[in-house]
Amino acid sequence: QKEVEQNSGPLSVPEGAIASLNCTYSDRVSQSFFWYRQYSGKSPELIMSIYSNGDKEDGRFTAQLNKASQYVSLLIRDSQPSDSATYLCAVYASNYQLIWGAGTKLIIKP
């Protein structure tokens, strides 16, 4: 069964520091990877998508993909209290479906 694993947290990071969120996946042939942010009581919103090995940067966010290790991560630089949320990792499986991790709760402490 295809799986996506995330540490549930909570991950506590001081304001201004780098938050590092990690995700591993089981399906070696996966080609599309996504990070979503979900505030409490709200729906998930897309932060980053990544399809190739290496780093992809967008503002304070950097997604890192290592297909050999089946590992994808999200780095948040200069963490702000507004970054406190649950971060969901999703991997494309097949047949129009994404496989979702259970999410990591991130807390940014002022």
Say whether 107 sits in a helix, a strand or coil. Answer: strand
CB 48, CB 65: distance < 8 Å:
no
What residues between 52 and 91 interact with other proteins by CB under 8 A? 88, 90
Which stretch in 21-29, 54-62, 64-72, 98-106 sits in contact with other proteins by CB under 8 A?
A: 98-106
Q: Does 96 bind other proteins (CB under 8 A)?
A: yes
Which stretch in 17-25, 44-52, 63-71, 75-83 sits in contact with other proteins by CB under 8 A?
A: 44-52
Say whether 20 sits in a helix, a strand or coil. Answer: strand
Nearer to other proteins, 43 or 82 (CB): 43
Nearer to other proteins, 41 or 110 (CB): 41
DSSP element (H, E) containing 108: strand 104-109
**Separation CA 107–CA 86 (nearest Å):** 9
